[in-house]
Amino acid sequence: NYVKGTANGSVELYYDNTKILETISTGIKVLGSEGGNAEIEIFGDEGDDNNDKWKLMTNANANFYLQNYGAGSWQNSILARPTGATELYNTGNLKLATTSSGVTVTGTLTATTLTGALSTTDACQTGDLTILNGNPEVKLQDSNHAGNNTEHMIAFKDSSGNNQMNIG
C-alpha cells in the first residue's frame, strides 16, 4: 500500500509499507517508526542549501524539536520536553531554559524594561552590576529585615573578597 482512503474518513500515506501520515478529523497525524523519530521537514527553496530548511520532530523520549538546517547540520532552535522544560537556542547554542523555579539565561540578558524582584544567586554573584536610568536612583531594600543592624549593609569587596568599604 502507498495510499489508502476511507469513505467519509481518513486518508493514509505509507512509505515502504509503513504508515507515516494519516488525516484525522482535526488535521493530520504524522507517525514515526517504532522507537524512532517522527519528522516534518519544511523547505523554503528546494535544492537551495541556505538556512531556509526547518524541521519539526519528536523522538522516542517524547521531546519536541524545532530545528533549522545551518552550517551543514540540523541545529536546535526550540526543544520542549514532556516534563515542561523548554529550551531556546541560537545557532545550536543553548541561550534560555525554563526550570521549575523560573528561567536560566546563558549569555548576556538585554531588556528594555526590568520589573519585579531581582535575586543575586549563583552566577549573578560575579561580574559587574550596572543600573542606568534617566532619573538616577538605585534602591536596595531588604524585605526580610528582622531587626538586626548588620542586615542593612552594602559591602564593596575586591576580587579576593576583602572588604574595601562598607555602607550600613
**What is the pLDDT, as a whole number, of residue 116?**
66
Residue type, position 15, single letter:
Y
Q: Are 57 and 70 in contact (CB under 8 A)?
A: no
> Residue 65's Cα: distance from chain center in Å?
11
β 38-43/27-30 pair status: unpaired
Q: State the pLDDT confidence band at 141, using cuts at 50, 70 and 90.
A: low
The predicted model scores a pTM of: 0.64
Mean pLDDT confidence for 85-98: 95
Place of cell 514515526: 32
Q: How far apart are CA 73 and CA 92, in angstroms?
A: 10
Q: How far apart are CA 80 and CA 57, in angstroms?
A: 11
β 163-167/53-58 pair status: unpaired
- For the stretch 19-57, pLDDT in tens is 899 999 999 998 887 667 888 988 877 655 566 889 999
Q: Could you give the percent of the chain with pLDDT greater than 70?
A: 71
